[in-house]
């Protein structure tokens, strides 16, 4: 038992849910009444999607996670009063503070009381951070209850409260608006999602639009509960909690097997924890006919690349490009992979194909030109890179990343230093806590001979990005030029231990030994 328990603990610490579940369930078989093993075995079983989780949950009356799982089980069996009681017992704190009212409303809808469900959500509709999500779930509940005007009113609130509408919200909203006689408004939401070269735009094509306008994305209260769990899981993943987001994705998949948004969330959470092969297996389970299939294919290609299976990834992306001959996203993914592998010239060609598929580039397309500029730099074509950066800035003139990249390129080449300084001052004003931009401004001042200003900004950059080899190297150069030789050598030694770029090790070692040549102290 002890060996299995320790193996399970280690696997759980490494976020390897499959091995953890095997080991901890084996340990529990030897010591079935040990509370510590029971709790850990249950958590691992949930994270790995094991059927044993339900049996174990019944033995954990104090566990919030067990209560959530059992509430879902009751809902699936039509035991809505029991599900509602479990949900009401959840403490209103932490993540449950968001999830509890949504699940409670769905349980009330499930037992045939949409009025009670909407009343549960009404306080959150007045104001506050939950207004958008409460409006979304209220709209879905009203839609299922065949109350199109209420559904339309609330879905418009949900859309208005969301800074960047996502594909899932668009899919839900388009159908609700269409059933309220506002099909044109729903189609406009898809038009906005389909613009640009980001991955999600590939899944917002004509087929997805037609499916959204003609059907319900959420057709039952059980599916609504799954929707709430996936939405919270995605938010938690964005806040750096992949383990909890994986648990919520697994709970959602118990309620709605084959639910692609939950599968994608589970895969991305696993990939965050370095379980790339497992994440790939989850994505391969998404149906080829699903709306999210092209998005999942892009993610699969990225995971294949991480596993060192680059040729398989490229083949997958080329098939995707053939299926969607007008879409830039597969070519962008190929180009990104080539650039990561140091194949700059091939990446430039692939980015060119993607840009050619854009039609008229818009403000949202600046990252594509930045990416091609980086590939051109990698291939030794600075004039071409400079042209792409200028094109990107014409699309988004005050984008700090672009200002920084173009200005730093000039500083490195010793040209247009005053213009670069002005651009970097604008970039720093927009992003005062960005260490890389602070470093660029400090490096520009160093090249202009302003040692005091250079040291001020380079020290700030080193505070913001303490583990950046280039920044520490730059600060060392500035210290040396100011006569602070001991501090300079300290910074160069630090830069040497922070994984410098290939070819930089010898240069850093030479500076530590001989200092900075006088001729290059202010180059």
pLDDT value of position 473: 96
Same domain, 448 and 393: no
- Structural domain harbouring 386: 328-397
For residue 518, the 8-state DSSP code is G
Same domain, 418 and 467: yes
Cα separation, 333 vs 338, whole angstroms? 9
Which pair of structure tokens corresponds to residue 321?
């490009």
Which pair of structure tokens corresponds to residue 225?
């509960």
Under 8 Å CB-to-CB from 472, ≥6 apart: which residues? 462, 491, 492, 494, 495, 498
Are 308 and 340 spatial neighbours (Cβ–Cβ below 8 Å)?
A: no
pLDDT value of position 205: 78
pTM here is 0.81
Which pair of structure tokens corresponds to residue 252?
């959602």
pLDDT value of position 520: 55
Same domain, 335 and 392: yes
pLDDT band at 196 (very low <50, low <70, confident <90, very high): low
Report yes or no on 251 lying in a domain: no
With a cut of 90, say whether residue 106 has pLDDT above it: yes
Report yes or no on 88 lying in a domain: no
Report yes or no on 176 lying in a domain: no
Of 87, 109, 112, nearest to 100 by C-alpha is 87
Measure the N-to-C terminal CA separation of the chain; round to a whole number of Å.
66
State which of 397, 416, 436 marks the end of a domain.
397
Same domain, 407 and 509: yes
Same domain, 374 and 465: no
- Please give the average per-residue pLDDT across 357-384, as a whole number: 93
Residue 360: φ, ψ to 5°:
-90, 110
pLDDT value of position 451: 95
Rounded percentage of the chain residues whose pLDDT exceeds 90: 67
Of residues 522 and 461, which shows the higher confidence score?
461
With a cut of 70, say whether residue 521 has pLDDT above it: no
pLDDT value of position 468: 95
pLDDT value of position 104: 96
Report yes or no on 509 lying in a domain: yes
How much is the CA Rg of the chain, to the nearest whole Å? 27
- Please give the average per-residue pLDDT across 14-24, as a whole number: 84
- Tell me the three state secondary structure of residue 348: helix
With a cut of 60, say whether residue 86 has pLDDT above it: yes
Under 8 Å CB-to-CB from 169, ≥6 apart: which residues? 136, 158, 159, 162
Q: Kindly report the CATH number assigned to the domain that includes residue 491.
A: 1.25.40.10
Listing DSSP states for 139-195 in one string gives: HHHHHHTT-HHHHHHHHHHHHHH-SS--HHHHHHHHHHHHHTT-HHHHHHHHHHHHS
Report yes or no on 13 lying in a domain: yes
pLDDT value of position 197: 62
Same domain, 514 and 494: yes
Cα–Cα distances in Å, from 231 out to 262, 265, 421?
A: 9, 9, 43
pLDDT band at 519 (very low <50, low <70, confident <90, very high): very low
Number of domains present in the structure of the chain: 3
pLDDT band at 518 (very low <50, low <70, confident <90, very high): low
Same domain, 386 and 426: no
With a cut of 80, say whether residue 478 has pLDDT above it: yes
Are 54 and 69 spatial neighbours (Cβ–Cβ below 8 Å)?
A: yes
Q: Kindly report the CATH number assigned to the domain that includes residue 389.
A: 1.25.40
pLDDT value of position 210: 85
From its phi and psi, is residue 503 left (phi > 0), alpha (psi between -120 and 50) or beta?
A: left
pLDDT band at 9 (very low <50, low <70, confident <90, very high): confident
Angle in degrees, 0-180, between the axes of helices 131-144 and 114-126, rounded to the nearest 10 = 160
By the 10 Å C-beta count (0-12 exposed, 13-18 middle, 19+ buried), 517 is classed as exposed
Under 8 Å CB-to-CB from 273, ≥6 apart: which residues? 14, 15, 242, 243, 246
For residue 288, the 8-state DSSP code is T
Same domain, 380 and 413: no
Same domain, 358 and 422: no
Same domain, 433 and 484: yes
Report yes or no on 455 lying in a domain: yes
Cα separation, 446 vs 451, whole angstroms? 6
Which pair of structure tokens corresponds to residue 498?
């922070």
Report yes or no on 298 lying in a domain: no
Same domain, 359 and 473: no
State which of 397, 418, 447 marks the end of a domain.
397
Listing DSSP states for 64-93 in one string gives: HHHHHHHHHHHHHTT-HHHHHHHHHTS-SS
Which pair of structure tokens corresponds to residue 289?
């006919």
By the 10 Å C-beta count (0-12 exposed, 13-18 middle, 19+ buried), 490 is classed as middle
- Please give the average per-residue pLDDT across 434-459, as a whole number: 96
pLDDT 10s digits, 252-305: 999 999 999 999 999 999 999 888 988 999 999 999 888 899 999 999 999 999
Same domain, 350 and 407: no
State which of 358, 381, 397 marks the end of a domain.
397
Listing DSSP states for 389-451 in one string gives: HHHHHHHSTT-HHHHHHHHHHHHHHT-SHHHHHHHHHHHHHH-TT-HHHHHHHHHHHHHTT-H
- Please give the average per-residue pLDDT across 150-166, as a whole number: 90
Under 8 Å CB-to-CB from 465, ≥6 apart: which residues? 435, 436, 439, 471
The separation between CA 142 and the C-alpha centre of its own chain, rounded to angstroms, equals: 31
Under 8 Å CB-to-CB from 508, ≥6 apart: which residues? 473, 492, 495, 496, 500
Q: What is the mean pLDDT of the chain?
A: 91
pLDDT value of position 523: 46
- Please give the average per-residue pLDDT across 440-457, as a whole number: 96
Report yes or no on 343 lying in a domain: yes
């Amino acid at each position: 038992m002890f060996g299995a328990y320790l193996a399970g603990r280690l696997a759980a610490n490494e976020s390897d849910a499959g091995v953890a579940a095997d080991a901890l369930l084996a340990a529990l078989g030897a010591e079935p009444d040990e509370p510590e093993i029971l709790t850990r075995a249950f958590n691992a079983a949930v994270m790995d999607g094991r059927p044993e989780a339900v049996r174990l949950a019944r033995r954990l009356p104090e566990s919030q996670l067990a209560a959530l799982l059992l509430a879902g089980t009751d809902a699936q069996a039509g035991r809505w009063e029991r599900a509602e009681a479990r949900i009401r017992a959840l403490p209103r704190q932490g993540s449950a503070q968001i999830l509890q009212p949504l699940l409670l409303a769905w349980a009330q809808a499930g037992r045939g009381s949409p009025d009670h469900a909407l009343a549960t959500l009404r306080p959150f509709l007045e104001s506050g951070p939950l207004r958008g999500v409460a409006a979304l779930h209220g709209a879905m509940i009203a839609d299922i209850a065949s109350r199109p005007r209420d559904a339309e009113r609330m879905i418009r609130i949900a859309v208005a409260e969301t800074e960047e509408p996502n594909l899932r919200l668009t899919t839900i909203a388009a159908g609700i608006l269409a059933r309220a006689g506002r099909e044109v408004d729903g189609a406009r939401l898809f038009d906005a999602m389909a613009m640009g070269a980001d991955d999600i735009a590939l899944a917002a094509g004509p087929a997805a639009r037609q499916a959204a306008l003609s059907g319900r994305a959420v057709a039952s209260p059980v599916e609504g509960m799954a929707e709430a769990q996936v939405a919270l899981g995605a938010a938690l993943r964005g806040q750096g909690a992949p383990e909890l987001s994986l648990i919520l994705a697994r709970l959602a998949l118990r309620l709605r097997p084959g639910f692609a948004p939950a599968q994608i969330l589970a895969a991305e959470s696993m990939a965050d924890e370095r379980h790339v092969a497992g994440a790939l297996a989850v994505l391969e389970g998404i149906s080829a006919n699903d709306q999210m299939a092209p998005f999942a294919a892009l993610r699969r290609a990225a995971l294949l690349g991480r596993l060192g299976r680059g040729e398989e990834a490229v083949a997958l992306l080329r098939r995707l490009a053939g299926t969607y001959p007008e879409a830039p996203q597969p070519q962008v993914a190929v180009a990104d992979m080539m650039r990561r592998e140091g194949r700059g010239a091939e990446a430039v060609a692939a980015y060119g194909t993607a840009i050619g598929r854009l039609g008229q580039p818009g403000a949202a397309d600046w990252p594509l030109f930045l990416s091609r500029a980086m590939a051109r730099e990698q291939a030794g074509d600075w004039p071409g890179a400079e042209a792409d950066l200028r094109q990107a800035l014409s699309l988004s003139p005050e984008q700090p990343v672009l200002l920084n990249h173009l200005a730093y390129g000039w500083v490195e080449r010793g040209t247009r230093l005053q213009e670069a300084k002005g651009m970097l001052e604008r970039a720093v004003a927009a992003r005062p806590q960005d260490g890389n931009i602070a470093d660029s401004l400090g490096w520009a001042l160093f090249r202009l001979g302003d040692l005091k200003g250079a040291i001020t900004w380079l020290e700030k950059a080193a505070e913001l990005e303490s583990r950046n080899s280039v920044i520490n190297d730059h600060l060392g150069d500035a210290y040396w030029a100011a006569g602070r030789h001991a501090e300079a050598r300290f910074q160069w030694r630090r830069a040497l231990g922070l994984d410098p770029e290939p070819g930089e090790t010898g240069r850093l070692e030479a500076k530590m030994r001989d200092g900075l040549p006088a001729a290059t102290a202010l180059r």
